[in-house]
C-alpha cells in the first residue's frame, strides 16, 4: 500500500503553500504547524514532510524552533529540508528532532560532501530531494538549472543512496495530477531506490494512479489543505 506523507511548508513559522515554488504566489493557512502535525497524527499519518522555505531562501536552516516544537514528545517521523548545506546544518536539524534530512542544491553543487554525509549518517537519514523540470534538476529554490539530469544524479550516488524524493516543478501546487511517465522510468531504472513522488496530486485518484505504477510514497500538500482530499479517505484502500 502506498504511504501518504502530508507536507508542511514554512515561512515565518507559518504554514503556507506555493504554486510552482513561486514566493509571490503564496497561500497562507490559519492552522499552526503544531496543530497540523497533531491532526495528521490523529489520522494515522506518522511521517510528515516539512520544508523550511525561509531556510531555502537564506541558505541555512531558519525555522528550527518550529521543528523542536512539533517534534518534542511527538510520535511524528519528520523529514526536513530547506537550506541545508553543511555537516553542522545536518547535526542541528537532527538534534532539533528530525528523523530524515533532505538535500537538494548541496547534493548537486557539492556531491562529495553529500556522499560523505550519506556514509557518516547513513542512507536512512540522508535523503536526496531532486526538483526537476522535465528530466533536468533545478537548484537554489528552483531558480537555476543544476546542469544534470535526474537519472545521472541518482546514479552518481549509488549504491549508497536509498531514499529519493522527486518533485516535478511544473506540477507542484497546481493540483493537475502527477507525471506518471517520469516515475515509471525512474522505478524501472532504479528498482532498489525508495522513491517518493511529489507534485501535482489533486485527488484520491492521483494517489491510486501512483500506487498502480509501483510508487511506494507520495507527498501531498495543497490537496489536503484545500479539502480536495479528505484525511478520512486516505486509509480506505
Catalytic (active site) residue 9: yes
Catalytic (active site) residue 131: yes
Which one is catalytic: 9, 54, 89, 206?
A: 9
**In three state form, how does the secondary structure of the chain look?**
CCEEEEEEEEECCEEEEEECCEEEEEEECCCCHHHHHHHHHHCCCCEEEEEEHHHHHHCCCCCHHHHHHHHCCCCCEEEEECCCCCHHHHHHHHHCCCCEEEECHHHHHCHHHHHHHHHHHCCCCEEEEEEEECCEEEECCCCEEEEEEHHHHHHHCCCCCCEEEEEEHHHCCCCCCCCHHHHHHHHHHCCCCEEEEECCCCCHHHHHHHHHCCCCEEEECHHHHCCCCCHHHHHHC
pLDDT value at position 215? 97
pLDDT value at position 237? 47
pLDDT value at position 147? 94
pLDDT value at position 16? 80
pLDDT value at position 235? 64
pTM for the full predicted model? 0.92
Q: Which residues contact 152 (CB under 8 A, 6 or more apart)?
A: none
pLDDT value at position 22? 56
Domain boundaries, given as residue ranges, for the chain? 3-236
pLDDT value at position 201? 96
- List the chain pLDDT tens, one digit each, 237 residues: 899 999 999 999 988 866 655 555 556 776 899 999 999 999 999 999 999 999 988 889 999 999 999 999 889 999 999 999 999 999 999 999 999 999 999 999 999 999 999 999 999 999 999 999 999 999 877 677 889 999 999 999 999 999 999 999 988 778 899 999 999 999 999 999 999 999 999 999 999 999 999 999 999 998 998 899 999 988 644
pLDDT value at position 29? 73
Which one is catalytic: 52, 54, 89, 131?
A: 131
pLDDT value at position 31? 81
CATH 3.40.50.2300 fits 3-236, yes or no: no
pLDDT value at position 63? 96
pLDDT value at position 140? 79
pLDDT value at position 21? 55
pLDDT value at position 24? 54
Amino acid at each position: 500500500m502506498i504511504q501518504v506523507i502530508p507536507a508542511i511548508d514554512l515561512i515565518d513559522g507559518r504554514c503556507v503553500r506555493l504554486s510552482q515554488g513561486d514566493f509571490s504566489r503564496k497561500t497562507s493557512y490559519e492552522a499552526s504547524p503544531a496543530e497540523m502535525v497533531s491532526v495528521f497524527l490523529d489520522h494515522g499519518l506518522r511521517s510528515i514532510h516539512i520544508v523550511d522555505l525561509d531556510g531555502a531562501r537564506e541558505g541555512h536552516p531558519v525555522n528550527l524552533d518550529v521543528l523542536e516544537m512539533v517534534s518534542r514528545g511527538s510520535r511524528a517521523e519528520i523529514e526536513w529540508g530547506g537550506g541545508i548545506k553543511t555537516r553542522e546544518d545536518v547535526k542541528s536539524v537532527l538534534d532539533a528532532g528530525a528523523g530524515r534530512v533532505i538535500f537538494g542544491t548541496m547534493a548537486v553543487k557539492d556531491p562529495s560532501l553529500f556522499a560523505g554525509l550519506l556514509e557518516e549518517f547513513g542512507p536512512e537519514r540522508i535523503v536526496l530531494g531532486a526538483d526537476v523540470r522535465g528530466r533536468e534538476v533545478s537548484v537554489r529554490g528552483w531558480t537555476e538549472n543544476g546542469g544534470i539530469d535526474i537519472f545521472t544524479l541518482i546514479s552518481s550516488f549509488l549504491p549508497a543512496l536509498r531514499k529519493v524524493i522527486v518533485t516535478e516543478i511544473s506540477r507542484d501546487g497546481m493540483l493537475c495530477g502527477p507525471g506518471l511517465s517520469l516515475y515509471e522510468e525512474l522505478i524501472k531504472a532504479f528498482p532498489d531506490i525508495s522513491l517518493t513522488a511529489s507534485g501535482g496530486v489533486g485527488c484520491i485518484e492521483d494517489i491510486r494512479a501512483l500506487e498502480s505504477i509501483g510508487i511506494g510514497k507520495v507527498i501531498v500538500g495543497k490537496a489536503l489543505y484545500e479539502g480536495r482530499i479528505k484525511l478520512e479517505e486516505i486509509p480506505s484502500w
